[in-house]
Amino acid sequence: MSTIKIKFVDFWASFDPHNNYFINALKGKVQVELSDEPDILFFSYFGTAHLQYTCHKIQFLGENVEPDFRIADYAISFDYLQQPNHLRLPLYVILFDENKSIANFLQPKTAAIIDELAKEKTGFCSFVVSSKDTKSRIDFFHHLSAYKKVDSGGAVLNNMGGRVTDKLAFIQQYKFNIAFENATYPGYVTEKIVEAKEANTVPIYWGNPRITEEMNPKSFINYHDYNSTKALLNRVIEVDNNEALFASYLQEPLFYNNQPNEYFNNERFVDFFKKIVAEIKHINPVSKTGRFKIFSLPLFYNVTRHRSRKTVYPYKPDW
């Protein structure tokens, strides 16, 4: 297989094109090099630079946005789409691959370690959010705060005198963490629940209603298990007042059998990429079709890209 030229555009600000999940997974498997004249362009949601390219394109979406095959030949996202030009790869895998902190979850915790971790918890619950657009988690913050003070270290509802600089160091001081996603939709799960477990706190999770298909339900408090916000609050209060119950959540691994789930198997992505390389020799990129020219005008795309967000399941307040 000859060298494939690739490029990354429109990713988040901290994304490193030289050191990331995709580059690392392909090492030793497919010969690739970064180029300003790519054969294959990887692009995400944070910009419109991809519109300048007419090569084959792979759209990566970690947020709750529907893959758009009017502007991409292939897509990698959280979605459960069953089609050959799509790969399910949730955002938490990209951010917590084997080169980072996922190995932390494979260390079994003895009763002595759990006891020590519990003693280190000096606060009740943490909240670190940068977007105020999700009503469900804002409302839950206020409801839970009526029971005990919830410390908010993010941009939203900050009550710590300023934003925290080290999120993990901040949330590991607390027994619980409000790990609510930006929205709830089947398959949509980001780094929030993984970060909370990495910090050895109990996540209070809302987001993917199918989360237990890939993560151990005994390791977190799942909003989707309860028929009302009040029932969820009562469960948090129960765990807060029962040391043995709280310890049981800490001791349970996030992943079944204490092993990362199937999405951490890099071969899934490598095989998908190899298939793309083989296919693009025989098909024209969508960027060279009339379909792309109609729908990819920058003005049109800037206006409509937020409208592509999928309809979400409603959250269930009962107050």
For residue range 180-212, list pLDDT tens digits in order. 999 999 999 999 999 999 899 999 999 999 999
Judgement on whether residues 82 and 122 belong to the same structural domain of the protein = no
- pLDDT at 1 (0 to 100): 60
- pLDDT at 96 (0 to 100): 72
Q: What's this model's pTM, rounded to 2 decimal places?
A: 0.88
Pick out the chain residues at pLDDT < 50: 98-99, 294-308, 310-315, 317-319
- pLDDT at 293 (0 to 100): 52
Judgement on whether residues 120 and 240 belong to the same structural domain of the protein = yes
Residue 281 inside a domain? The answer is: yes
- pLDDT at 103 (0 to 100): 65
- pLDDT at 317 (0 to 100): 46
The range of the structural domain enclosing residue 133 comes to 109-252
Q: Tell me the CATH number at 268.
A: 3.40.50.11650
Residue 317 inside a domain? The answer is: no
Judgement on whether residues 226 and 205 belong to the same structural domain of the protein = yes
Judgement on whether residues 14 and 68 belong to the same structural domain of the protein = yes
What gap in Å lies between CA 50 and CA 250, rounded to an integer? 43
Alpha helices per DSSP H over the chain: 21-26, 91-95, 111-119, 135-145, 167-171, 192-198, 229-240, 243-251, 266-279, 290-295, 298-304
- pLDDT at 211 (0 to 100): 97
Nearest to 306 by CA among 133, 155, 187: 133
pLDDT, tens digit (0-9, with 9 covering 90-100), for 96-115: 754 456 666 677 788 899 98
What gap in Å lies between CA 247 and CA 307, rounded to an integer? 43
Judgement on whether residues 86 and 211 belong to the same structural domain of the protein = no
Q: Tell me the CATH number at 203.
A: 3.40.50.11660
